Amino acid sequence: MLNEIFGSRDVSTLTSDDVTAWLTASSLKPSSLRQYTGTLRQVLDYAGLEPNPARDRRVRLPRIEQEEINPPTARQFLAILEKATPRWRLPLLFQEQTGMRSTEIATLTWGDVDLAESQVRVSKARSKTGKARWVQVPAWLTEKVSETLPLEDRLPDRRVFPGCSKDVLKAATARACKLAGVGDFSPHELRHRWISLQVGKGVPITAVSAQVGHSRTSMTLDTYSHVLMDASEVAEGEAVALLSRTEVS
Protein backbone atom coordinates (compact mmCIF):
# COMPACT_ATOMS: atom_id res chain seq x y z
CA MET A 1 0.00 0.00 0.00
CA LEU A 2 2.62 2.57 1.05
CA ASN A 3 4.89 1.51 -1.77
CA GLU A 4 2.07 2.08 -4.27
CA ILE A 5 1.46 5.59 -2.96
CA PHE A 6 4.94 6.85 -2.11
CA GLY A 7 7.29 4.23 -3.59
CA SER A 8 8.27 6.26 -6.65
CA ARG A 9 8.75 9.53 -4.75
CA ASP A 10 12.02 10.99 -3.59
CA VAL A 11 11.47 10.95 0.17
CA SER A 12 13.13 14.33 0.52
CA THR A 13 10.25 15.86 -1.46
CA LEU A 14 7.49 14.48 0.79
CA THR A 15 5.56 17.01 2.84
CA SER A 16 2.94 16.88 5.53
CA ASP A 17 0.41 17.96 2.90
CA ASP A 18 1.21 14.81 0.90
CA VAL A 19 0.58 12.63 3.95
CA THR A 20 -2.63 14.49 4.77
CA ALA A 21 -3.87 14.16 1.18
CA TRP A 22 -3.26 10.41 1.29
CA LEU A 23 -5.12 10.06 4.59
CA THR A 24 -8.05 12.10 3.31
CA ALA A 25 -8.39 10.24 0.00
CA SER A 26 -7.92 6.73 1.38
CA SER A 27 -10.90 4.38 1.76
CA LEU A 28 -9.16 2.28 4.40
CA LYS A 29 -10.59 1.92 7.88
CA PRO A 30 -9.27 4.38 10.48
CA SER A 31 -7.53 1.57 12.37
CA SER A 32 -5.71 0.45 9.21
CA LEU A 33 -4.71 4.01 8.35
CA ARG A 34 -3.21 4.43 11.79
CA GLN A 35 -1.13 1.29 11.32
CA TYR A 36 0.08 2.36 7.87
CA THR A 37 0.92 5.84 9.16
CA GLY A 38 2.95 4.32 11.96
CA THR A 39 4.89 2.28 9.42
CA LEU A 40 5.42 5.35 7.22
CA ARG A 41 6.80 7.28 10.17
CA GLN A 42 9.30 4.53 10.92
CA VAL A 43 10.39 4.25 7.29
CA LEU A 44 10.98 8.00 7.05
CA ASP A 45 12.81 7.96 10.39
CA TYR A 46 15.07 5.22 9.02
CA ALA A 47 15.65 7.28 5.88
CA GLY A 48 16.87 10.09 8.12
CA LEU A 49 14.29 12.60 6.92
CA GLU A 50 14.21 15.62 9.21
CA PRO A 51 11.68 16.87 9.95
CA ASN A 52 9.60 13.78 9.39
CA PRO A 53 6.43 14.91 7.50
CA ALA A 54 4.44 11.93 8.77
CA ARG A 55 5.09 13.15 12.34
CA ASP A 56 4.10 16.72 11.64
CA ARG A 57 1.53 17.93 14.20
CA ARG A 58 -0.66 19.12 11.34
CA VAL A 59 -1.15 15.53 10.16
CA ARG A 60 -4.41 14.46 11.74
CA LEU A 61 -5.07 10.75 12.02
CA PRO A 62 -8.68 9.62 11.56
CA ARG A 63 -10.58 9.00 14.74
CA ILE A 64 -11.40 5.41 15.59
CA GLU A 65 -14.99 5.24 16.73
CA GLN A 66 -15.43 3.30 19.97
CA GLU A 67 -17.23 0.03 19.39
CA GLU A 68 -20.72 0.21 20.85
CA ILE A 69 -21.21 -2.72 23.16
CA ASN A 70 -24.70 -3.78 24.10
CA PRO A 71 -24.52 -7.24 25.67
CA PRO A 72 -27.75 -9.05 26.51
CA THR A 73 -29.11 -8.85 30.03
CA ALA A 74 -29.45 -11.94 32.19
CA ARG A 75 -33.13 -12.27 31.29
CA GLN A 76 -32.45 -11.82 27.60
CA PHE A 77 -29.73 -14.44 27.65
CA LEU A 78 -31.95 -16.96 29.43
CA ALA A 79 -34.67 -16.32 26.86
CA ILE A 80 -32.15 -16.93 24.06
CA LEU A 81 -30.94 -20.12 25.74
CA GLU A 82 -34.49 -21.41 26.12
CA LYS A 83 -35.24 -20.92 22.41
CA ALA A 84 -31.89 -22.16 21.11
CA THR A 85 -31.66 -25.56 19.47
CA PRO A 86 -30.73 -27.97 22.30
CA ARG A 87 -27.53 -29.00 20.52
CA TRP A 88 -26.14 -25.46 20.69
CA ARG A 89 -27.21 -24.49 24.20
CA LEU A 90 -24.08 -25.83 25.84
CA PRO A 91 -21.55 -24.03 23.59
CA LEU A 92 -23.54 -20.79 23.92
CA LEU A 93 -23.60 -21.19 27.67
CA PHE A 94 -19.89 -21.97 27.57
CA GLN A 95 -19.26 -18.63 25.88
CA GLU A 96 -21.46 -16.70 28.31
CA GLN A 97 -19.77 -18.30 31.32
CA THR A 98 -16.14 -18.07 30.19
CA GLY A 99 -15.82 -15.16 27.73
CA MET A 100 -14.09 -17.38 25.16
CA ARG A 101 -14.23 -16.59 21.46
CA SER A 102 -16.61 -18.58 19.26
CA THR A 103 -13.75 -20.03 17.22
CA GLU A 104 -11.97 -21.16 20.38
CA ILE A 105 -15.07 -22.96 21.60
CA ALA A 106 -15.75 -24.51 18.20
CA THR A 107 -12.23 -25.96 17.94
CA LEU A 108 -12.01 -27.17 21.54
CA THR A 109 -10.91 -30.82 21.79
CA TRP A 110 -11.09 -33.29 24.65
CA GLY A 111 -7.32 -33.09 24.90
CA ASP A 112 -7.77 -29.44 25.87
CA VAL A 113 -10.17 -30.19 28.74
CA ASP A 114 -8.83 -30.49 32.28
CA LEU A 115 -11.79 -31.75 34.29
CA ALA A 116 -9.81 -32.04 37.54
CA GLU A 117 -8.91 -28.34 37.56
CA SER A 118 -12.12 -27.24 35.81
CA GLN A 119 -10.29 -25.46 33.01
CA VAL A 120 -9.70 -25.71 29.27
CA ARG A 121 -6.61 -24.92 27.23
CA VAL A 122 -6.61 -22.65 24.21
CA SER A 123 -3.57 -23.76 22.25
CA LYS A 124 -1.16 -21.37 20.58
CA ALA A 125 -2.36 -22.48 17.16
CA ARG A 126 -6.00 -21.75 18.02
CA SER A 127 -5.45 -18.50 19.86
CA LYS A 128 -6.04 -15.20 18.05
CA THR A 129 -2.97 -13.70 19.74
CA GLY A 130 -0.74 -16.70 19.02
CA LYS A 131 -0.29 -17.36 22.74
CA ALA A 132 -1.59 -20.41 24.58
CA ARG A 133 -3.63 -19.87 27.73
CA TRP A 134 -5.77 -21.69 30.28
CA VAL A 135 -9.40 -20.63 30.72
CA GLN A 136 -11.18 -21.22 34.00
CA VAL A 137 -14.63 -22.82 33.69
CA PRO A 138 -17.29 -23.10 36.41
CA ALA A 139 -17.14 -26.59 37.93
CA TRP A 140 -20.82 -27.27 37.24
CA LEU A 141 -20.28 -26.43 33.56
CA THR A 142 -17.31 -28.76 33.15
CA GLU A 143 -19.49 -31.43 34.72
CA LYS A 144 -22.18 -30.75 32.12
CA VAL A 145 -19.58 -31.05 29.37
CA SER A 146 -18.28 -34.33 30.76
CA GLU A 147 -21.80 -35.76 30.64
CA THR A 148 -21.97 -35.33 26.87
CA LEU A 149 -19.55 -38.16 26.08
CA PRO A 150 -18.44 -41.36 27.86
CA LEU A 151 -14.89 -41.30 29.22
CA GLU A 152 -13.70 -44.06 26.88
CA ASP A 153 -14.78 -42.05 23.81
CA ARG A 154 -12.96 -38.84 24.73
CA LEU A 155 -10.11 -39.06 22.28
CA PRO A 156 -7.60 -36.18 22.61
CA ASP A 157 -8.24 -34.81 19.11
CA ARG A 158 -12.01 -35.29 19.19
CA ARG A 159 -14.06 -32.05 19.21
CA VAL A 160 -15.98 -31.29 22.38
CA PHE A 161 -18.75 -29.69 20.32
CA PRO A 162 -18.91 -31.61 17.00
CA GLY A 163 -20.22 -29.63 14.05
CA CYS A 164 -19.82 -26.36 15.88
CA SER A 165 -18.33 -23.32 14.13
CA LYS A 166 -18.42 -19.55 14.39
CA ASP A 167 -21.03 -19.33 11.63
CA VAL A 168 -23.16 -22.11 13.12
CA LEU A 169 -23.26 -20.39 16.52
CA LYS A 170 -24.06 -17.05 14.88
CA ALA A 171 -26.98 -18.56 12.96
CA ALA A 172 -28.23 -20.46 16.01
CA THR A 173 -28.13 -17.30 18.14
CA ALA A 174 -29.91 -15.21 15.49
CA ARG A 175 -32.70 -17.79 15.23
CA ALA A 176 -33.05 -18.03 19.03
CA CYS A 177 -33.15 -14.23 19.35
CA LYS A 178 -35.92 -14.04 16.78
CA LEU A 179 -37.97 -16.74 18.50
CA ALA A 180 -37.42 -15.15 21.91
CA GLY A 181 -38.22 -11.64 20.64
CA VAL A 182 -35.22 -10.10 22.39
CA GLY A 183 -33.59 -8.17 19.58
CA ASP A 184 -30.53 -9.16 17.60
CA PHE A 185 -27.53 -10.42 19.54
CA SER A 186 -24.47 -12.30 18.34
CA PRO A 187 -22.42 -14.97 20.15
CA HIS A 188 -19.58 -12.44 20.43
CA GLU A 189 -21.83 -10.28 22.58
CA LEU A 190 -21.97 -13.15 25.07
CA ARG A 191 -18.21 -12.70 25.35
CA HIS A 192 -18.86 -8.97 25.85
CA ARG A 193 -21.37 -9.86 28.55
CA TRP A 194 -18.91 -12.00 30.51
CA ILE A 195 -16.13 -9.40 30.37
CA SER A 196 -18.49 -6.56 31.29
CA LEU A 197 -19.82 -8.49 34.28
CA GLN A 198 -16.31 -9.17 35.56
CA VAL A 199 -15.42 -5.50 35.24
CA GLY A 200 -18.68 -4.63 37.00
CA LYS A 201 -17.85 -7.02 39.84
CA GLY A 202 -14.44 -5.47 40.33
CA VAL A 203 -12.39 -8.47 39.16
CA PRO A 204 -8.77 -7.36 38.54
CA ILE A 205 -8.42 -6.33 34.92
CA THR A 206 -5.24 -8.41 34.59
CA ALA A 207 -7.22 -11.55 35.46
CA VAL A 208 -10.01 -10.66 33.02
CA SER A 209 -7.55 -10.00 30.18
CA ALA A 210 -5.72 -13.25 30.86
CA GLN A 211 -8.96 -15.26 30.77
CA VAL A 212 -10.19 -13.85 27.45
CA GLY A 213 -6.82 -13.69 25.72
CA HIS A 214 -6.40 -9.95 25.24
CA SER A 215 -2.81 -9.07 24.38
CA ARG A 216 -3.00 -5.90 26.48
CA THR A 217 -5.01 -4.97 29.56
CA SER A 218 -5.59 -1.58 27.95
CA MET A 219 -7.60 -3.34 25.24
CA THR A 220 -9.94 -4.71 27.89
CA LEU A 221 -10.24 -1.37 29.66
CA ASP A 222 -10.65 0.75 26.54
CA THR A 223 -13.35 -1.50 25.11
CA TYR A 224 -15.30 -2.63 28.15
CA SER A 225 -14.82 -0.25 31.07
CA HIS A 226 -17.55 2.09 29.79
CA VAL A 227 -20.21 -0.62 29.53
CA LEU A 228 -22.99 0.04 31.98
CA MET A 229 -23.72 -2.93 34.23
CA ASP A 230 -25.68 -1.83 37.28
CA ALA A 231 -25.64 -3.69 40.58
CA SER A 232 -28.91 -5.50 39.87
CA GLU A 233 -27.61 -6.86 36.55
CA VAL A 234 -24.39 -8.04 38.20
CA ALA A 235 -26.49 -9.81 40.83
CA GLU A 236 -28.71 -11.38 38.17
CA GLY A 237 -25.60 -12.45 36.31
CA GLU A 238 -24.66 -14.53 39.33
CA ALA A 239 -28.05 -16.25 39.16
CA VAL A 240 -27.80 -17.11 35.46
CA ALA A 241 -25.60 -20.12 36.16
CA LEU A 242 -28.17 -21.63 38.51
CA LEU A 243 -31.05 -21.14 36.08
CA SER A 244 -29.02 -22.22 33.06
CA ARG A 245 -28.41 -25.70 34.45
CA THR A 246 -32.00 -26.66 33.79
CA GLU A 247 -31.77 -25.40 30.19
CA VAL A 248 -28.95 -27.76 29.28
CA SER A 249 -30.10 -30.79 31.24
| pLDDT of amino acid 22 | 86
User: Is 70 exceeded by the pLDDT of residue 246?
Assistant: no
Q: Name the H helices within the chain.
A: 2-6, 16-25, 30-46, 74-83, 86-98, 102-106, 139-146, 166-180, 188-201, 205-212, 217-224, 231-247
pLDDT tens-digit readout, 211-230:
999 888 877 776 665 555 55
pLDDT tens-digit readout, 51-110:
998 899 898 887 766 556 678 988 899 999 999 999 999 999 999 999 999 999 999 999
User: Is 80 exceeded by the pLDDT of residue 150?
Assistant: yes
Beta-carbon contacts of 97 under 8 Å, excluding residues fewer than 6 positions away, are 137, 138, 141, 194, 241, 244
% the chain with pLDDT above 70:
86
